[in-house]
Amino acid sequence: MEEASLSLSLSTTTNTNTNDLIATYYLQQWRLKSKSSAAKFESMGFPEPQFLTQIDEDEEDDKEELPTELDTLNSSGGFSIVGPDKLSVRYPSVNLHGHDVGVVQANRPAPSKRLVYYFEMYVENAGAKGQVAIGFTTPGFRLRRQPGWESNSYGYHGDNGLLYRGQGKGETFGPVYSTGDTVGGGINYASQELFFTKNGAVVGAVFKDVKGPLFPTVAVHSQHEVVNVNFGKKPFVFDLKAYEAQERAKQNSTIEKLSIPQNASYGIVRSYLQHYGYEDTLKTFDFESRSTLPPISFVQENGFTEDMNTYSLNQRKVLRQLIRSGQIGDAIGKLKEWFPQIVQDGASAICFLLHCQNFIELVRVGKLEEAVLYGRTEFEKFYKLGDYADLVKDCAALLAYELPQKSSVGYLLGDSQREIIADAVNAMVLSTNPSVKDSRECLHSRLDRLLRQLSACFLEKRSLNGDQGEGFHLHRILNSGRKG
C-alpha cells in the first residue's frame, strides 16, 4: 500500500522535479526497511533506544496470527470440558438428544493469506458411540450442533465417515475413525478446497464455498469421548510440507506449459543488465547467447528504447562498483566530474543519501571519531529540514551500540543498503539523458515492472477469492528452486 501511494504521488510530479522524484522513491525504500528492521528487533525482546522514533505497526501483508489453542470463552453448555492445556476436550455426560453436542472452536480463525492451512485431532478415546468430528465453522456457529449440520460449516465425522457441509444429511466421503486415529483438516487456498486426512493420508477434498473466516473446530458427542488437538506446536502425522510442494508443482506445471519465445526472456534479462549498469556481465551474456539465439530487434517500450538503457553504461558501471565497495567519496567525486547537475544542490535528497552512506561506511570500518565529525558537518543541514530527521536518527543510532550490526539499525550495515544508494544514483544518471521524457521510467527495469505486475495479479486473484490465498514472493520461488 505504501509503495502504491508513493507511485501515485510520483505520477503527479513534473520532470522539473526529477531529482526529488527519484531520490524520494529510494528514501521511501529505506524507510520501509527501517520499519521492518525495527519491528523485527522489537519482536526479539530487545529494548528500543529512546532516541529512535516510534515505528508504526508492521503492516506486512502476509503476517497473520495463528490458532494456538482451543477457545475456552465460548461454551457449548457443559457438553464439553476443555483441559488445562487448552488442547484437549472430553465429553462429560450421557447425551440425551441430538443437541447435546460438545463443540469447541480454535481461539483464532484459520489464517487465509497462504497456500495451505492445516491442523490435526488425535482421538484418545472414541467413547460410547465414537461420534467425534473435525471440521471448520464460521464465527457465531451454534456450539450445540455438530460441525457440518449448520450452514457455512463442514465436518468429517468419525462414527460413519460421512462429510457434512451445511445440512443434516451427510455424504459418502472417507473411512470411519476411532480410538488411536489421527485425523486432520486443511484449507487449500489455491484450489479453494477443504481437505481431510486420516493417519497421514488424504481422505478427500470438497469445494470451499465460504469466503469469510473459518475456525478449526472439533466436536465430542458421547460419554467418555476424549480428543487432543495439534495446531502445529508438535509435528503433524500428515506430511504438510510434501503436500505444499505437490501443490506448488501443480502451479509450476501450468506455468511451464505456457509458450514464451526464447528471445523474449533474453531481451528481458538483457534490458535488466543494461538498466542497472552491469556492463561486464552484459558483454558476457551477449557473447554466450550469440550462438544460441536468433537476432533480436529491440523496439521502443513505454517511451524507453535500448539506446536509453545503454546511456552512460560505463560510467554507471563504475559508480555502482564504487558504491557497492563502500567508496562513497570516490563516487561523489565521479558524479561531480561526469554529472555535476546531480549533486550541485548539496541539500538535495540524493546528496542526503550519499552522505548517509558515507557516514555508514565510516562506522563499518570502525572510524567512529571520524564518523562523528562527518555527521556533525553533513547531517545538520538535513536534520533542520525535518523531512530526513528519522533517517538521520537511524544513522546516528549506529554509534550507540557496541555491536551495531546486531541492533535495530544493523540493516544499515548490510549490502542491501548499499544497493539502495547504487540504484538511486543509477536512476539519477539515466534521468540526465536528454531523450528521457518521463523520469519514472528510470526507476525500474522491464524485469522489475514485470514482477510488479505479477505481484498485482496475485493480489487481484486473492481479492477475487475473498482476500484469501498467498501473494507473490520472489524470494520464496528462488529459495524453492535452490532446494529442488
Which residue has 547537475 as its cell numbers? Answer: 341
pLDDT class of 483 with cuts at 50, 70, 90: low
Q: What angle do CA 220, 224, 227 make, to 5 degrees?
A: 50
pLDDT band, very low/low/confident/very high, at 16 (cuts 50, 70, 90): very low
pLDDT above 70 coverage of the chain, percent: 83
Mean pLDDT of the chain: 85
Q: What is residue 47's predicted lDDT score, i.e. its pLDDT?
A: 42
Residue 381: per-residue pLDDT: 83
pLDDT at res. 293:
59
Residue whose cell numbers read 456450539: 143
Residue 300 has pLDDT above 50, yes or no: no
pLDDT at residue number 62:
52
Which DSSP helix (H) or strand (E) runs through 370?
helix 368-385
Confidence (pLDDT) at 12: 36
Share of the chain above pLDDT 90, in %: 57
What's the pLDDT tens digit per position in 174-214?
Answer: 999 999 999 999 999 999 999 999 999 999 999 999 988 99
Q: Is 70-232 CATH 2.60.120.920?
A: yes
Nearest one of 58, 127, 144 to 93, comparing CA atoms = 127
pLDDT at 18: 60
107 closest CA partner among 135, 62, 157, 65: 65
C-alpha distance from residue 254 to each of 74, 247, 251, 257, 259 (Å): 44, 11, 5, 5, 11
For residues 141 and 105, the answer to whether their CB atoms sit within 8 Å is yes
Domain spans in the chain, listed from the N-terminal domain onward: 22-38+312-432, 70-232
pLDDT of residue 286 exceeding 90:
no
What does the pLDDT look like over 204-252, one tens digit per residue? Answer: 999 999 988 999 999 999 989 999 999 999 999 999 999 999 998 888 8
**pLDDT single digits (tens) 85-135:** 999 999 987 666 667 889 999 999 999 999 999 999 999 999 999 999 999
Please write the tens of the pLDDT for every residue from 418-475: 999 999 999 999 999 998 888 888 999 989 988 888 888 888 888 888 888 887 777 6
Q: What is the pLDDT at residue 39?
A: 59
Res. 13: pLDDT tops 80: no
